Amino acid sequence: MPVRRSCRTPSSSSSSARNGCRECQHRRIKHTKEHHCRSQGLSHSITCQYISMSSSRAWSKTMSYPATSTTETMAPTSHDDRSMSHPLSHLTTVEGGDLNIPDLGLMVQWCTETYRSVSRNTAVEWIWHATIPREAMHHPFLMHAILALSSLHLAFTTPPGIVNGDLKTNYLRTAHAHRQQALLEQTKVIHKLDAANSNAAFAVSSLLIVFSFAMPLSSPTIKSATDPIDEVCHIFQGTQRSTHVFAEIIDWVSRGELRPLVMCDSSFPKMPDTSRLAIMALSRMNTTLTERDSGHETDIFDRTIGSLGHSLDSLARGGELMITAFQWIIQIPPRFIDLLRERHPFALVILAHYAVILHALRRHWWVGDWGDRLIRAIGHHLDAGWKRSISWVIDATGCFIAPG
């Protein structure tokens, strides 16, 4: 029997349809002391259900917010009892249970715009649009990461100027606050990883790396004041500190709903696989440098080149671009980052090859011209002899480096 929900239980003194449920009002059925809507409903095969006056007032108060329709977007697609009973406690305030409208606004931003920017194509968009937010319902650190990146995206798209200055600043401040909260909450589960929270841990690590790349681009002042090589070293070190759990969870992730993110898509257009020739050239160069210099750190470079080969191969075979970009960062030896800071020429040459992956991501707002900036900065530090070692990079990206 269909069920109809009314706004309130009709008063015993009521004599008009104004105190009845909406359906009975629509049918112009009167609600009197002897003839209320429950008895009328039976004649239409409808059972009315009443909500107490106190509950009605609470629901009306909630519905008074203009943004509450977004809760339908955030509702989990699963009908699992745990999903339906688990509230987004960090999207509500303690007093009165009122919805946190700014955070709901950030969730709208994620569900309409930002989620697309972390996906390579429509084949995996549904994961970021539906699966990841559903996971965030049960893992606050993931929810904070989503809100952080959404706020940063809004800061990035807000044009500079006197009128928008405060708005942009507020978005940046909110982004940093949510990022810090995500990191704090992440530390609580970092030693309790299992199949149940592996997807959330994987997503958080990915989103925080995106945040790290996007942050210098959100402010022209920051972007112009920092050396791209030093900045990328800072990102690499921060990433390795926060994503050392990848090795523990990747097996769980590859067997679950996020599997398409870590597997190559054979239907995706493939790049010409010239990268293998480039990797072979780097390996030969590493061997030559070892023969010339007994102090050359052959093993460090060999491991770095090997990891880069896997990433470039994944790129050529249509792998998820974002994961491909981050995979190498996680796998490189920490010593290699030190060599970059020292401006070791061979380390810079390898970094230039990695910049090809960033160049492939250039249409994403959080990457932009990162690849070109890195290549130009590296070219500035290399002499004519070393510049010949990045000829494949220049051909693959079209980036211009002044000779000399």
For residue 226, is it within any domain?
Answer: yes
90 and 142 assigned to the same domain: yes
28 and 139 assigned to the same domain: no
Identify the domain boundary among 221, 256, 291.
256
317 and 248 assigned to the same domain: no
Helix, strand, or coil (residue 72): helix
Count of structural domains, the chain:
3
For residue 180, is it within any domain?
Answer: yes
242 and 111 assigned to the same domain: yes
Residue listed under structure tokens 């290699």:
336
Q: Which pLDDT does position 54 carry in this prediction?
A: 38
For residue 161, is it within any domain?
Answer: yes
For residue 191, is it within any domain?
Answer: yes
59 and 191 assigned to the same domain: no
95 and 7 assigned to the same domain: no
251 and 281 assigned to the same domain: no
125 and 246 assigned to the same domain: yes
Confidence label for 2 from pLDDT (cuts 50, 70 and 90): very low
For residue 372, is it within any domain?
Answer: yes
CA distance 56 to 30: 21
For residue 326, is it within any domain?
Answer: yes
366 and 312 assigned to the same domain: yes
Q: Which pLDDT does position 379 carry in this prediction?
A: 93
82 phi and psi angles, rounded to 5 deg? -65, -40
46 and 185 assigned to the same domain: no
**Side chain identity, residue 296:** H
The boundaries of the domain holding residue 34 are 3-63
For residue 267, is it within any domain?
Answer: no
Identify the domain boundary among 194, 221, 256.
256
Residue listed under structure tokens 């009002």:
25
State which H helix or E strand residue 5 sits in. strand 3-5
The rounded percent of the chain whose pLDDT value lies above 70 is 67
The rounded percent of the chain whose pLDDT value lies above 90 is 42
CB within 8 A of 150, min separation 6: which ones? Answer: 106, 107, 109, 110, 114
For residue 75, is it within any domain?
Answer: no
233 and 106 assigned to the same domain: yes
Q: What is the pLDDT of residues 195-219, one digit of tens each?
A: 899 999 999 988 998 999 998 887 6
Q: How many CA atoms lie within 13 A of 350 on its CB side?
A: 29
Q: Are 199 and 257 in contact (CB under 8 A)?
A: yes
Q: What is the pLDDT of residues 31-90, one digit of tens each?
A: 554 444 444 444 444 444 443 333 333 323 333 333 333 333 333 444 344 333 343 444
Helix, strand, or coil (residue 124): helix
CA distance 281 to 278: 5
99 and 198 assigned to the same domain: yes
